[in-house]
């Protein structure tokens, strides 16, 4: 059964996860509202990410280079490469994300969404949650 995790300006609808794929992949649809963005640029050490544009335009920054993800186009993000995204298009945008292998699951997103719903997040706590789930926050700058 798909699960939606809402962060306000972005939401994820998990379609498959590590639990029902035997660790093969995590698959979710990301919906990003206008002016929405990834809160903390980061990289992953244990999985790759492939994103496929479904609607609208999302600007992904990967290794310092900006890529406009539009419907029908895809982007591959290797392990260890810092990335982030934002939506300055003025319209809702959606993409499909595939994480391989499936080692993240929805738990990270559930925990982070709960923290954000509790009020302004503590940056140290966000970083601790990220690192515990295999995401490494990028150094500021």
CB 81 within 8 A of CB 63: yes
* Domain 3-135, CATH class in plain words: mainly beta
Q: What 3-state DSSP class applies to 66?
A: strand
pTM over 0.75: yes
Q: Which long-range contacts (CB under 8 A, 24 or more apart) does 117-126 make?
A: 121/39, 126/39, 126/40
30-73 pLDDT per residue, tens? 999 999 988 789 999 999 999 999 999 999 999 999 999 999 99
Task: Answer yes or no: is pLDDT of 140 > 80.
Answer: no
83-132 pLDDT per residue, tens? 999 999 999 999 999 999 999 999 999 999 999 888 887 889 999 999 99
The secondary element (H helix, E strand) that includes residue 110 is helix 107-117
Beginning with the edge strand found earlier in the chain, give each strand of the sheet holding 83-86 in spatial order. 65-69, 58-62, 83-86, 42-44, 135-137
């Amino acid at each position: 059964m798909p699960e939606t995790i809402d962060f306000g300006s972005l939401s994820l609808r998990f379609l498959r996860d590590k639990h029902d794929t035997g660790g093969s992949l995590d698959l979710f649809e990301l919906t990003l509202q206008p002016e929405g963005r990834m809160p903390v640029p980061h990289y992953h050490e244990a999985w790759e990410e492939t994103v496929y544009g479904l609607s609208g335009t999302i600007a992904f920054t990967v290794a310092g280079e900006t890529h406009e993800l539009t419907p029908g186009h895809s982007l591959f993000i290797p392990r260890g490469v810092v990335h982030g995204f934002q939506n300055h298009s003025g319209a809702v945008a959606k993409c499909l994300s595939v994480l391989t292998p499936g080692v993240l699951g929805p738990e990270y997103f559930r925990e982070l969404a709960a923290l954000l719903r509790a009020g302004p997040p503590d940056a140290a706590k966000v970083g601790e949650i990220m690192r515990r789930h295999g995401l490494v926050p990028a150094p500021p700058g």
